[in-house]
Structure 1
Amino acid sequence: MLTTELPILYSYRRCPYAMRARLALRYAGVTVEIREIQLRDKPAALLQASPKGTVPVLVLANGQVLEQSLDIMAWALAQQDPEGWRQPQFETEAQAWIARNDGPFKQLLDRYKYPERHPAATQAEWRAEAESLMLAPMEQVLQERPYLLSESPSWADMALMPFVRQFARVDLAWFESAPHVALRGWLGGLEGSDLFQSIMDKQTVWKPD
């Protein structure tokens, strides 16, 4: 039984999937109860709502559970999309960027971040592969326009930004010296925005009453 009429978002501040969900919810003006969890000590309420035990998970007031970050983004934007993040004419391109990010780029990001777990290649080799797959194509597009799909931000920008941010932070000195000027500008602008800053406030770990 829910103890609040607000949707409940189980989240972890540093998780890029949770970041994209929080971005969409905040942008759409959806008020939620954020329950910050510890990944090593997942609360029973989260596992009851979603046995997969990963975040984000959004439990709606009617009991419906959204277990995937993209589903949460889509739901939020269906409530309100004041600046046109999701426009039909860009949907095919948006889906292509997101699929590349969530599939092969995320795999390479994990290998780059934890090279000791993936000894088939060196950290520099994993980075080079990821750079070729994602960073270089993004740089090419962003040299032509300020955002991935058009002159204004889209849900594709917001879905990818937390992962590019995580990639950059693996070796920030390398990222800042790499030949991706437009990409750095895109990332810096989104990361420094009021919207992003508003969803990165530190939360107290949620404990059931």
Structure 2
Amino acid sequence: ISSWHTLKWAVVWASVLVVLALLGGLLLGVPESYAILAVPIAVALIVTWIICLFALTTIVSGYFRWRRYARDFHRNTVPRIRAALERGRVSSKHVAADSVIVIEEFEDEGAGYIFDVGEGKSLILKGQQYCAISDDMPWPASEFEIVRSADSGVWIGIFSSGSPLEPSRTVKMEDCSEGFVWADMEEVVQGASEEVLETIRRHTRK
């Protein structure tokens, strides 16, 4: 999250808050004969003001949270990744898939993928880190490597080498169970991709 974009949106929402406050001040001077009209307008302004305040605090707190995460990542994780690459000691999990179901990202929890890897099994990937390390690499792809450092298991990235894999189906994250929505997953499970999807979807009683 860049400082410029955060500042831009913070200024936008702060400006809206100021405008709403000014409009609220103008309503205080409305004659009593127009009070019936002023009350619903005031309620709408208050609700809108609360929503804008929530948006502003979310943007600012999100910026500082991700800034702290990035600082910790560069301070602690990057040196370990570099050391592992320099020593050439990495572990790689090769994946070859016939098809994939994509579950769209919800908020900032990362997208989900159900790869059909053959022999009646599927690979579930869910989380922000599960995408190719470069935009030049196809993703999702028919073949890719999940790479970590061999000694400490530090995440390095996904290196895709196969052809682009067109999703056989795209599902909204909110259609999945709450446990799946907020989880990070990397797991091989029994069942074809469609069967696995049914186990993680949110089922409502009719």
Report the TM-score, using the length of structure 2 for normalisation.
0.22
Identify, as 1 or 2, the structure richer in strand. 2
Higher relative contact order (CA 8 A, sep 6+): 1
Identify, as 1 or 2, the structure richer in helix. 1
Report the TM-score, using the length of structure 1 for normalisation.
0.22
Greater C-alpha radius of gyration: 2
